[in-house]
Amino acid sequence: MIYARIAGTGSFLPGEPVSNDDLVARGIDTSDEWIVERTGIRTRHLAARDVTSSDLACEASRRAIAAAGLQPEDIDLVIVATSTPDCIFPSTATLLQSKLGMRNGAAAFDVQAVCTGFVYGLTIAEKFIRSGSHKRALVVGAEVFSRILDWSDRGTCVLFGDGAGAVVLEASDKPGILATALHADGSHHPILCVPGAVASGQVIGDPFLRMDGQAVFKFAVKVLGEVANEVLAESGMEAGAVDWLIPHQANIRIIQATAKRLGVPMEKVIATVDRHGNTSAASIPLALDLAVRDGRIRAGQRIIVEGVGGGFTWGAALLQF
């Protein structure tokens, strides 16, 4: 039996942390108290003007590849989950491949599932590896969400940040990813979207992120509970058998409500949203890498990663680290 196992993790946050008070100092009509109470976010990182998603992806990928004890050319599949690609085409994955100096002809493409993008990418890579067609996949979530924020909309601009997280997934005869579930329901697209497009040399429509926060909140808690239970059922496990829950890092209140629904104590939940805000597709691999590097996550432990985002999309993976 071929499993897909995580062989290394990496992450990258650009520049210095920007605090809630820094946002107030920049003229945003908000407060540290409001942001912390409603979201748990204390700081986020904002990429410099000339830094792109593939730049952030490259730093995170180098760290993940080094952690796996590999070289970039050992990778035969590159998947980048992003909603903030460097350009319309080519894909951010091919630009990343070039920046990593990979000339081995590895397949490379992007996945667009917004904040669930990393779980979608991980699941796709797992299928490639289990089929025997590929041996080592680099799966990255990378975003510069600061580029699509309306900085005059305090209901959204305080929530998001920039960053990247990456894993190397490797074929193994030892258990790795045990169960996955992916879902989408496009009828919910209006509650979280960037509706604009580029056509005929112009931006057509609204190029900024728009969100009905309360509708998103309710939907997120519901489906994060359901999809975690789905992967538990698929692998024949109870929630108590899981060492760590890593939900999408959007809001501490969504994370707490999800954990409560699942009966998982907060001591078993990785929450790093306070440090980097909502980094969309980057949030799960960022949280995973931070917890691997601070020693909380150890070899052999069972982890559920789960995401929800625009589309709406949602999904989860249960894995043995």
Collapse the DSSP code of 269 into the 3-class scheme (helix H, G, I; strand E, B; otherwise coil) and give the result. strand
Choose which of 39, 235, 313, 320 interacts with ligand UT7 (CB under 6 A): 39
Q: In terms of Cα–Cα distance, which of 52, 105, 43, 53 is closest to 75?
A: 105
- Count residues binding ligand UT7 (CB under 6 A): 19
Choose which of 258, 278, 279, 320 interacts with ligand UT7 (CB under 6 A): 278
Integer CA distances (angstroms), 154 to 23, 31, 167, 198, 249, in order:
10, 10, 33, 25, 19
Cis peptide before 89 (omega within 30 of 0): no
Q: Which is nearer to ligand UT7, 68 or 287 (CB)?
A: 287
What is the number of alpha carbons within 13 Å of residue 131 lying toward its C-beta? 9
The answer to whether 229 is a known catalytic residue is no
Binding mask 104-143 for ligand UT7 (x = CB under 6 A): -----------x----------------------------
Maximum pairwise Cα distance, the chain:
57
Residue 250 binds ligand UT7, judged by CB under 6 A: yes
Helices and strands (H, E) in the chain, number of each type: 10, 15
Q: How far is the CB of 278 from ligand UT7 (least distance, A)?
A: 5
**Catalytic site residue from 134, 248, 251, 276:** 248
Q: Which residue is nearest to ligand UT7 (CB)?
A: 213
Q: Which DSSP symbol is given to 237?
A: -
The answer to whether 20 is a known catalytic residue is no
Residue 151 binds ligand UT7, judged by CB under 6 A: no
Collapse the DSSP code of 134 into the 3-class scheme (helix H, G, I; strand E, B; otherwise coil) and give the result. coil
Question: Using CB under 6 A as the criterion, which residues of the chain lie in contact with ligand UT7 when the complex forms?
Answer: 30, 34-35, 38-39, 115, 154-155, 158, 211, 213-214, 216-217, 250-251, 254, 278, 309
Q: Which residues are catalytic?
A: 115, 248, 278
